[in-house]
């Protein structure tokens, strides 16, 4: 048993028992291979975890399917499932400091200001929220007043069965919560794959499941790579759905694979290149505050990051001055366990190199660099990059960078702002600032995005659907809308006439 766990001491002084094995059928499982996970602050290995492959996917899917049919799970009432979800929320809440410590170590996000204060809070709140939904996602009766006096029909939302989830490295624990909680609330069983870059915090769900008393096989956690584990899940004929968060390119591959296998349902939350529009009748100080938060939160490694700023020309220079000033004052790039840290290291060497290439490309294409620099190692640290006087044809204006880089341009008219904001293949989020409420609502209605924020930026909420349009994905997570994506509406027709003659 000892080689399935290791003790990790984090920079904030916590000594934690970290799971290393896969979690399948309520057991910790070893495999023939392991892989390292790297601390982005030091570029040194933290530990090695056991690596799943196609065989382990089969075992996890079989366990999930057996659990779905078992009386220990299938006979539970909605209230009883809700009790289990509530227990999970309280365990996560109790252990939030430990989980946040592991995640900050593995991902590089600021421990106090982001991981503990936001991500872990939302994680346990999501489980509590869906605990409340477990006995309220009811069906519909279509009565004889509609169908005729001799017939009724009832529509029952039935769980899909064993479902799969694949999460990215930017919110390793919270993205798991977004998928696990509504799936369990509806009565599904789950196989989850973490990112190979940040596998550690996800494994804590095994601890949570055991302590909360989930029946065997209801929740399974796999550490591994997309090429084998992800592909095996997508093509598996006994998974009824894949819920995915990640890149648009991978989302396309998942959709293709799902179609070729068993036409399993897919929910895709993919990339973004979200616009941030500031009109000259806005509260400029308010806009600058939200601009800062909307691009620099989590090092810019956020799908909804507003990485394209469109500022009306009359206030362009004043906005630039205020935004650069605020960034230089507040953006503290340092070890994520320093309480002053607001910008931790980029998550990996690969991401560091990607951001480096885009910064070089921005300079090469003629954008004006106002602020930002790469810092000497160890660690994948940089100060946030602010580019001004950008044009829509520049790579930094068109392509998702997924890092602390913002591209700023000016516009003249409302119509121009809308047209240029929509000139992207993405459609995840958008933010706009104006004190003219009529203008604000009119512009919001014309922006091609799944989420629009008026006089705020990226402050999504677990009660509200989250998702995008165009190449940013399919379906919605969070709110009651997520429940529909883990259920099938079964119509039962009841004939109340005399026997057929």
pLDDT digits 0-9 by tens, 91-141: 999 999 999 999 999 999 999 999 999 999 999 999 999 999 999 999 999
User: Within 10 A of 263 (CB to CB), how many other CB atoms are there?
Assistant: 9
Q: From CA 40, how far away is CA 24, in angstroms rounded?
A: 29
Quote the pLDDT of residue 149: 84
Q: pLDDT tens digits, residue range 307-357?
A: 999 999 999 999 999 999 999 999 999 999 999 999 999 999 999 999 999
Q: Tens digits of per-residue pLDDT, 271-321?
A: 999 999 999 999 999 999 999 999 999 999 999 999 999 999 999 999 999
Q: What is the average per-residue pLDDT within 15-20?
A: 98
What pLDDT shows up at residue 497? Answer: 84
392-400: average pLDDT: 97
The enclosing H or E element of 119 equals none
Per-residue pLDDT at 498 exceeds 80: no
Model confidence at 2: pLDDT above 80: no
Q: Domain 275-461, CATH 3.90.1150.10 — does that match?
A: no
Q: Taking the model in full, what pTM does it have?
A: 0.96
CA 296, 107, 241, 153: dihedral to nearest 10 degrees? Answer: -60
Averaged pLDDT score across all residues of the chain: 97
Q: Are 65 and 161 in contact (CB under 8 A)?
A: yes
Nearest-angstrom CA–CA distance, 187 and 70: 12
Question: What digits encode the pLDDT tens for the residues 212-259?
Answer: 999 999 999 999 999 999 999 999 999 999 999 999 999 999 999 999
Which of the four pLDDT bands, split at 50, 70 and 90, describes residue 1? very low
For domain 53-270+474-489, the CATH architecture is 3-Layer(aba) Sandwich (3.40)
pLDDT at 500: 61
Task: Answer yes or no: is pLDDT of 182 > 60.
Answer: yes
Residue 359 pLDDT grade (very low, low, confident, very high; cuts 50, 70, 90) = very high
> At 501, is the pLDDT very low, low, confident or very high (cuts 50, 70, 90)?
low
**Per-domain boundaries in the chain:** 53-270+474-489, 275-461
Give the active site residue among 269, 301, 448, 477. 269
Smallest Cα–Cα separation from 183: which of 487, 449, 418? 487
- Give the ranges where 46-163 is alpha helix by DSSP (H): 54-69, 71-74, 78-94, 96-107, 120-133, 144-147
Residue appearing with tokens 């009386």: 71
Task: Give dist(CA 448, CA 275) in Å, integer.
Answer: 10
Q: What's the pLDDT tens digit per position in 62-77? A: 999 999 999 999 999 9
Average pLDDT score over residue span 404-423 = 98
Q: Is the dihedral of CA 49, 351, 110, 176 positive or negative?
A: negative
The answer for 108, left when phi > 0, alpha when psi is -120 to 50, beta otherwise, is left
**pLDDT score, position 76:** 98
How far is residue 406's CA from residue 319's CA, in Å, rounded to a whole number? Answer: 14
Active-site residue flag, 269:
yes
């Amino acid at each position: 048993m000892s080689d399935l766990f290791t003790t990790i001491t984090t920079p904030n002084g916590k000594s934690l028992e970290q799971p290393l094995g896969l979690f399948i059928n309520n057991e910790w499982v070893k495999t023939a291979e392991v892989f390292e996970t790297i601390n982005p602050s030091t570029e040194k290995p933290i530990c090695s975890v056991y690596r799943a492959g196609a065989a382990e996917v089969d075992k996890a899917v079989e366990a999930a399917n057996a659990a779905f049919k078992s009386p220990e799970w299938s006979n539970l009432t909605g209230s009883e499932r809700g009790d289990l979800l509530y227990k999970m929320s309280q365990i996560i809440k109790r252990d939030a400091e430990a989980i946040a410590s592991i995640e900050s170590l593995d991902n590089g996000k600021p421990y106090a200001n982001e991981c503990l204060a936001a991500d872990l809070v939302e994680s346990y709140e999501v489980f509590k929220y869906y605990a409340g939904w477990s006995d309220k996602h009811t069906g519909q009766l279509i009565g004889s007043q509609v169908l005729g006096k001799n017939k009724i029909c009832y529509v029952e939302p039935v769980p899909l069965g064993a479902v799969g989830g694949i999460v990215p490295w930017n919110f390793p624990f919270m993205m798991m919560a977004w998928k696990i909680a509504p799936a369990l609330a509806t009565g599904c069983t789950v196989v989850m794959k973490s990112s190979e870059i940040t596998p550690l915090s996800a494994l804590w769900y095994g601890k949570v499941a055991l302590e909360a008393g989930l029946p065997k096989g209801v929740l399974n956690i796999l550490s591994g790579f997309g090429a084998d584990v992800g592909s095996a899940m997508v093509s598996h004929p006994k998974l009824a759905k894949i819920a995915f968060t990640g890149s648009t390119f991978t989302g396309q591959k998942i959709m293709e694979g799902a179609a070729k296998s068993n036409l399993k349902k897919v929910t895709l939350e993919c990339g973004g290149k979200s616009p941030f529009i500031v009109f000259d009748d806005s509260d400029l100080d308010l806009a600058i505050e939200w601009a800062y938060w909307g691009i620099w939160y989590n090092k810019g490694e956020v799908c909804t990051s507003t990485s394209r700023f469109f500022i009306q020309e009359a206030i362009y220079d004043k906005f630039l001055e205020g935004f650069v000033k605020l960034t230089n004052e507040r953006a503290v790039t340092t070890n994520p366990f320093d309480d002053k840290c607001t910008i931790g290291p980029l998550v990996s060497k690969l991401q560091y190199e990607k951001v480096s290439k885009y910064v070089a490309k921005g300079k090469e294409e003629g954008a004006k660099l106002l602020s930002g620099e790469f810092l000497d190692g160890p660690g994948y640290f940089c100060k946030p990059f602010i580019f001004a006087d950008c044009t829509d044809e520049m790579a930094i204006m068109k392509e998702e960078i997924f890092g602390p880089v913002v591209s700023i341009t000016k516009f003249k008219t409302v119509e121009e702002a809308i047209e240029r904001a929509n000139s992207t293949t993405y459609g995840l989020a958008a933010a706009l600032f104006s004190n003219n409420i009529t203008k604000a609502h009119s512009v919001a209605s014309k922006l091609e995005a799944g989420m629009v924020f008026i006089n705020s930026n990226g402050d999504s909420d677990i009660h509200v659907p989250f998702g995008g349009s165009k190449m940013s994905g399919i379906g919605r997570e969070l709110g009651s809308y997520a429940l529909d994506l883990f259920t099938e509406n079964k119509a039962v027709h009841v004939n109340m006439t005399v026997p057929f003659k």
